[in-house]
Amino acid sequence: MHPYKLKYHKNSVLLIAMVGIPVFFISLMLYCLFSLPSSLSETSTLIFVSLSIILMALLLLWITKTQIFVHSKILISEKGISFKLKSTSFLYRRTEFFSGWENVSSVTEMFDNHNGGYFYQIAFKNPDFVANFSPLKNHEIEADRFFSELQYYQESYNIAHQLPISRKLNPSNSFN
């Protein structure tokens, strides 16, 4: 069992951060602007607004680089898939997860418009969430091996558990 090192993120966390942080900063900035004395010059107000926007952009970049897209270690076996987040992030409650193949509903490869590469989505049934894994910089070959192995184990599980069902539905196909 070879451990794979990939970046992990969830779309819901990305969406919440990209909407929630600007809304918070804009609300805070407006509150501060309306609390400032009216005798403040236009230049001071412009500097305050500019610094607030720059601070918000820097915070969004930091959160994206360190808190949303986090390094993880993934293990795949015939029993299932497990991953552990290597860095701590205040945005993810669960830092370790294991799931048997019966709990994996789909495995897909998606094109990433942001950096022109691919990332891999694994949809789980219980708890119901989608995990996204993307290659680390200059580790695309390892990510391709990860996806190939992931597909192999999921297809092996599906074949092993669908064959008995098809025999029950059509007993004439059984090998007597």
42-63 and 11-35 helices cross at what angle (nearest 10)?
Answer: 160
Q: How confident is the model over 8-39, as pLDDT tens digits?
A: 999 889 888 889 989 998 999 889 888 877 78
Are residues 133 and 74 in contact, defined by beta-carbon separation less than 8 angstroms? yes
Q: How far is 17 from 106, CA to CA, in rounded Å?
A: 26
Residue 86 CA to chain centroid, in angstroms? 14
Q: How far is 146 from 150, CA to CA, in rounded Å?
A: 6
Q: Model pTM? A: 0.75
3-state secondary structure of 73: strand
